[in-house]
Homo-oligomer: A and B are copies of this chain.
Amino acid sequence: MSDRSKPRKQPKPLSPSLASSPPTPKTLTPSRMARRSLLKPFLASALSLLALYSLLHASPSPNPLSFSSYSSSSATVPRPPVPNIYVYDLPRKFTYGVIRSYLLARDPGATPPPDDNPHYPGHQHSAEWYLFSDLLRPDRRPDSPVRRVSDPADADLFYVPFFSSLSLIVNPIRPANAGAAPERAYSDEAMQEELMEWLEGQEYWRRNRGRDHVFICQDPNALYRVIDRVRNAVLLVSDFGRLRGDQASLVKDVILPYSHRINPYKGDIGIEGRHSLLFFMGNRYRKEGGKVRDTLFQILEHEKDVVIKHGTQSRESRRMATQGMHSSKFCLHPAGDTPSACRLFDAIVSLCVPVIVSDYIELPFEDVIDYKKIAMFVDTRSAVKPGYLTKMLRKVSKDKILQYQQELKMVKRYFEYEDPDGTVNEIWRQVSSKLPLIKLMINRDKRLVKRGPHDLDCSCICSRQNGTIISR
Q: Could you tell me the distance in whole angstroms from the C-beta of A157 to the nearest C-beta in chain B?
A: 14
Q: A250 contacts which of B366, B429, B459, B472 (Cβ < 8 Å)?
A: B459
Are B252 and A461 in contact, CB atoms less than 8 angstroms apart?
A: yes
A251 in contact with B461 given A38-B57, A436-B433, A471-B209 (CB within 8 Å): yes
Interface of A is mostly: loop
- Would you call A464 an interface residue if the criterion is a C-beta within 8 Å of the partner chain's C-beta atoms? yes
Cβ contacts under 8 Å, A455 to chain B? 466
Are A368 and B439 in contact, CB atoms less than 8 angstroms apart?
A: yes
A437 in contact with B251 given A69-B143, A471-B200 (CB within 8 Å): yes
Q: Could you tell me the distance in whole angstroms from the C-beta of A425 to the nearest C-beta in chain B?
A: 7
Within 8 A of B (CB), among A437-459: 437, 439-441, 443-451, 453, 455-459
Are B449 and A379 in contact, CB atoms less than 8 angstroms apart?
A: yes
Are B462 and A458 in contact, CB atoms less than 8 angstroms apart?
A: yes
Spot the interface stretch: A134-142, A309-317, A391-399: A134-142
- Provide 12 A-B residue pairs closer than 8 Å at the C-beta atoms, listed in order of the A residue: A42-B53, A62-B144, A66-B142, A68-B142, A70-B72, A79-B145, A200-B471, A250-B441, A251-B461, A369-B443, A456-B466, A457-B465
A460 in contact with B249 given A65-B72, A74-B143 (CB within 8 Å): yes
- Would you call A60 an interface residue if the criterion is a C-beta within 8 Å of the partner chain's C-beta atoms? yes
- Would you call A224 an interface residue if the criterion is a C-beta within 8 Å of the partner chain's C-beta atoms? no
Cβ contacts under 8 Å, A82 to chain B? 78-79
- Would you call A232 an interface residue if the criterion is a C-beta within 8 Å of the partner chain's C-beta atoms? yes
- Would you call A294 an interface residue if the criterion is a C-beta within 8 Å of the partner chain's C-beta atoms? no
Binding site for B on A (CB under 8 A): 22-25, 32, 35-36, 38-39, 42-43, 46, 49-50, 53, 57, 59-63, 65-66, 68-72, 74-80, 82, 138-145, 147-148, 200, 205-206, 209-211, 228-229, 231-232, 245-246, 249-252, 359-360, 363, 366-372, 375, 377-381, 421, 425, 429-430, 432-433, 435-437, 439-441, 443-451, 453, 455-472
For the complex, give the distance between the alpha carbons of A337 and B469 in Å.
28
Are A142 and B463 in contact, CB atoms less than 8 angstroms apart?
A: no
Are B38 and A421 in contact, CB atoms less than 8 angstroms apart?
A: no
Cβ contacts under 8 Å, A472 to chain B? 200, 229
Are A62 and B148 in contact, CB atoms less than 8 angstroms apart?
A: yes
Are A250 and B466 in contact, CB atoms less than 8 angstroms apart?
A: no
Are B440 and A367 in contact, CB atoms less than 8 angstroms apart?
A: yes
Q: Could you tell me the distance in whole angstroms from the C-beta of A339 to the nearest C-beta in chain B?
A: 11
A140 closest partner in B (C-beta): B62
Cβ contacts under 8 Å, A148 to chain B? 62
Are B62 and A24 in contact, CB atoms less than 8 angstroms apart?
A: yes
Q: A57 contacts which of B35, B363, B462 (Cβ < 8 Å)?
A: B35
Q: Could you tell me the distance in whole angstroms from the C-beta of A212 to the nearest C-beta in chain B?
A: 12
Cβ contacts under 8 Å, A433 to chain B? 80, 433, 436-437
Are A232 and B471 in contact, CB atoms less than 8 angstroms apart?
A: yes
Most buried by B among A57, A211, A468: A468
Are B378 and A449 in contact, CB atoms less than 8 angstroms apart?
A: yes
Are B367 and A459 in contact, CB atoms less than 8 angstroms apart?
A: no
Q: A69 contacts which of B50, B72, B210, B446 (Cβ < 8 Å)?
A: B72
